[in-house]
Amino acid sequence: MKKPKKVTNIKKYKRKINATSSIPISKIDTVKPTTATSNHIRVFMLFLFIILALLIVRLFFLQFVQGASLKEQAYKQQTINRLISPTRGNILDSTGKILATSASVDTITVNPSKIKGKTAEETKLKKEKLAQEFVDIFELNYDEVLEKLNSTSSVQTIIKKVEKDKVDALKEWLSDNNITAGVNIDEDTKRYYPYNNLASHVIGFCGDDNQGLYGIEQKWDSYLTGTPGKISTTADVNRDEISDKNEQYIEVENGNDLVLSIDVNIQTIAEKYLKQGVEENNCSRGGSVIIMNPNTGDILAMANYPDYNLNTPFTPTYSVWQENWENYSSEQKAEMWRNTAVSSTYEPGSTFKLINASIALEENITDTDVANDFTCVGHEIVSGQQINCWSSASHGKQSLRNVLENSCNPGMIQLCQRIGVSTLYKYYNAFDLLTYSGVDLPGDQKGIMFNPDKILPVELATLAFGQRFNITPLQLIKAVSAIANDGILMKPRIVKQTVNPDTNTVTNIEPTAIRQVISKETAAKMRDMMESVVTNGTGSNGAVKGYSIGGKTGTSEPPQNNKDQGYVASFVAIAPVENPELVILAVLYAPQAKNYHGGTVAGPVVSNILTEVLPYLGIASEDVTVSEKTNNLIAVPNIVNKTVAEAQRTLENAGFKCDFTLNGNKNELLVTTQVPKAGTMLYKDSIIKLYTAQNEVRTSTTVPKLVGMTASQAMNSLEAKKLNISIVEGTGKVATQEPAEGTSVEEGTVIKVTLKED
């Protein structure tokens, strides 16, 4: 590289430049900045100063005004918080059977932007292939899935609450097709109801987010839900976890289990006969049954029909709903889930006469058997208006007992006229008929009663026999339970315990006595008259062989302005009369049967239910003594290889009961197995289970607690579970049993007990 040539002759160089320029060289040396140039510099410097000032202000704003929030945003960007979902608590019946539980499932989501190939065409084919696989595994709509995969959203949910077998199939396909990003499988839970329709209106169900929507699930949601846990970790710029010692873990708190007062076996019996009663009488608006322990307020069963399947709550099962479901509004659809026994009011009719009669006795206005105290000529004239008795024939002269036996409207009108409005309402308030029932279920309603200040003679007359005002079924049975419980009103109890599954801490919800409404003596007189209603009056269809039953019928007419609503038939009963352990109410809405009266329509429902429930609870029958059953042991005959029809005749002739499931012609099917086996020595009326090649499914049941029971109570308790008894030795009460309480055995099994005197 050549060095630049050194200029040595300055004068010569200047002359050379001067020769090519119009400006003398001497002038260049003396040029000074113009005024315009100085202004430009000043403007430029001012601009720089303004920019610098704005930067300083901005920095001040970021540091001191937004500093805290920016710090929080930075933390969020640098931190990954993963929530750990709690397990929703179980719902159990009073015997420990699970009514509602949660199982682990998964939710499938996608990040559309992460599902891509090397080219746009490869990405398109990849998403189409994935969409088809989602359709094949989860039975989804292809176009909808593909639309989600092509979405610009950061995340799209494909399907929620997927069972393990389908998730495993998806994982295998993703692995085989080398898809490692963009498809997320997140752990979730799904609510299951093992008994499907059983107690559906009591239990309720959950939505997609596991939030309770109806029943216990809704009312006790805060107890069942639990508290989520959390894991916090540091993330890099790509939101990938950085393992470090600063990871934080907040432990999850699972939801509490709830133990209900409901008994699955009693609930099953109640639902069976309620459905039968509704269908046989063509009750267009269904029906309700409540069974309560009057001594504790425990609701042992609460049934409404039609019901619905808790596992598919948005799919109607009742034919009328199915026909019009798509045309129903959301309010109309909600009627399918309404707990009628708690949330719907009705006119109680003559069952309400029990309340008015108890007030009269408590106030010493009359007594049970005062002869000729009331007169019925078939009607009563009130303020010039004729109010008829339900019967076309007059009842003549009657005592209060006769009035209840005959369910006489004129007699009750005369009684309430003596009592007076103010006294009636004092006791209605004491019976909690003017307020809510207090049950821990959603939708609890209070009655729609007359304003006492505006009651005229006609309103008082209709009040006397339970019409033209409304209460809920639960309000009525709560009030009648006070009569059964020596006059003490109890708060209805549906949840008995809460159980923390993490600590096994049990919290009991104790029975709550509200107040003494009537005296023990008045309650005893009322129970005695209720028994007369069943033995001598309109309640004869509610009788149960071998048990003392007290009851009252009820039939209410439809309102004048809504005849299409139809009649309401009802029956309320207590059992046993001497020491009531059960109160039961059956209400059937709009029966289309020719005879729509409560005694005819609802009485048999109550009788059928009590016939099975009373022995199940170990309440001894007064009809058959133990000695009558146990005097003679009978050898079980061998009926294997006989037709079912022939086996049935043989067993019944020998004094046994037989039980079988038939899928075919019993005159052709042959018995392949019998339980107990031939030669077993059993008492009369013991149960023999029969099985054929076409009907081999065995049914298991749990051995009840027998220790402490009398022999009669043990027999009844086992009979209700289709088990047999063998008294090995002794007299008195059960001292030992084999198998032990809680053992799962096959129906027909013989349970051996020993007795011992106290």
Tokens of 620: 């001894």
CATH classification of the domain holding 216: 3.90.1310.10
Q: In the β-sheet with 299-305, what is the strand arrangement from edge to edge?
A: 299-305, 287-292, 582-589, 568-575, 550-556
Dihedral (Cα; 275, 281, 287, 288), 10-degree rounding: -70
Neighbour-count burial for 70-108, b at 16+ CB within 10 Å, e otherwise: eeeeeeeeeebeeeebbbbbbbbbbeebebbbbeebbbb
By the 8 A CB rule, do 388 and 379 touch?
yes
Q: Which of 182-186, 427-431, 738-742 has the highest mean pLDDT?
A: 427-431
- Using alpha carbons only, give the angle 735, 737, 738 rounded to the nearest 5 degrees: 155
pLDDT of res. 23:
46
Identify whether 196 is part of a domain. yes
Query: Please, are residues 529 and 520 in contact by the beta-carbon 8 Å criterion?
Result: no
Q: Is the pLDDT of residue 606 over 90?
A: yes
Task: Give every CB contact of residue 751 below 8 A, 6+ residues apart in sequence.
Answer: 703, 706, 718, 723, 724, 725, 726, 737, 738, 739, 745
More confident residue, 413 or 122: 413
Q: Is the pLDDT of residue 229 over 80?
A: no
Taking Cα atoms as reference points, which of 304, 277, 337 lies closest to residue 198? 304
> How much is the pLDDT for 10?
47
Whether 569 contacts 554, CB under 8 Å? yes
- Burial-class residue 300 by CB neighbours within 10 Å (0-12, 13-18, 19+): buried
- Report the predicted TM-score, pTM, of the whole model to 2 decimal places: 0.72
607 located within any domain: no
Tens digit of pLDDT for each residue in 647-667?
A: 999 999 999 999 988 778 888
Q: Is 676 inside a domain boundary?
A: yes
Burial of 385 (0-12, 13-18, 19+ CB in 10 A): exposed
**Of 496 and 178, the one with more pLDDT:** 496
DSSP codes, 288-321? EEEEE-TTT-BEEEEEEES---TTSTTS--SHHH
Q: Which of 224, 259, 294 is the last residue of a domain?
A: 259
Rounded to an integer, what distance in angstroms lies between the CA atom of residue 154 and that of residue 502?
37
Contacts with 184 (C-beta within 8 Å, 6 or more apart), sequence order? 108, 109, 110, 111, 155
pLDDT at 347: 96
More confident residue, 105 or 152: 152
Q: Is residue 527 part of a domain?
A: no
- pLDDT single digits (tens) 303-349: 999 999 999 999 988 877 888 888 888 888 888 999 999 999 999 99
pLDDT average, residue stretch 517-532: 97
Determine which of 60-69, 208-217, 409-418 has the lowest per-residue pLDDT on average.
60-69
How many domains is the chain partitioned into structurally? 2
Indicate the pLDDT class of residue 75, thresholds 50, 70 and 90: low
Q: Note whether residue 77 is domain-resident.
A: no
Q: Identify the band that residue 1 occupies on the pLDDT scale cut at 50, 70 and 90.
A: very low
Q: Mean pLDDT of all residues in the chain? A: 88
Number of helical H runs and strand E runs in the chain: 26, 32
Residue 313: C-alpha distances to residues 289, 337, 433, 642, 679 (Å): 21, 8, 32, 45, 50
| Whole-number Cα distances in Å, 432 to 168, 314, 425, 754, 758 | 56, 35, 10, 47, 42
pLDDT band with cut points at 50, 70 and 90 for residue 33: low
φ and ψ of 105, to 5 deg: -135, -175
If one counts every other C-beta atom within 10 angstroms of the C-beta of residue 434, the result is 15
- Average pLDDT (38-54) is 82
- DSSP string computed for 449-505: ---GGG--HHHHHHHHTT-SSBB-HHHHHHHHHHHHTTTEEE--BSEEEEEETTTTE
The DSSP bridge pattern shows strands 687-692 and 671-675 to be antiparallel
Average pLDDT over residues 601-606: 97
Give buried/exposed letters for 34-46 (b at 16+ CB in 10 A, else e): eeeeeeeeeeeee
**Beta-carbon-side half-sphere exposure of residue 58 (alpha carbons within 13 Å):** 6
Q: Per the domain annotation, does 749 fall within a domain? A: yes
Q: Which of 217, 240, 259 is the last residue of a domain?
A: 259
- pLDDT for 9 beyond 90: no
What was the pLDDT predicted at 27?
46
Q: Of the residues 203, 226, 259, which one is the last residue of a structural domain? A: 259
For position 644, what pLDDT does the model report? 92
DSSP H helical ranges for 633-674: 644-654
Concatenated DSSP letters for 218-266? HHTHHHHH-B-EEEEEEE-TTS-EE--TT-EEE--BPPPEEEES--HHH
> How confident is the model at residue 166, as a pLDDT?
87
Residue 178 has pLDDT above 80, yes or no: yes
| The pLDDT of residue 82 is above 90 | no
Residue numbers of the domain that contains 187: 82-259
Taking only the tens place, the pLDDT of each residue in 253-266 is 899 999 999 999 99
In the chain, % of residues over pLDDT 90: 58
Is 370 contained in some domain?
Answer: no
Flag whether 357 is in a domain: no
Q: How far apart are CA 717 and CA 702, in angstroms?
A: 11
How large is the average pLDDT for residues 351-361?
A: 98
pLDDT for 301: 98
**588-600 residue pLDDT tens:** 999 997 889 999 9
pLDDT at 513 over 70: yes
Question: How many angstroms separate the CA atoms of 486 and 519, rounded?
Answer: 7
Do the Cβ atoms of 753 and 728 come closer than 8 Å?
Answer: yes
**Encoding tokens for residue 105?**
């499932």
Most confident of the following: 169-173, 245-249, 375-379:
375-379
Residue 242, pLDDT score: 52
Which DSSP category does 212 fall into? B
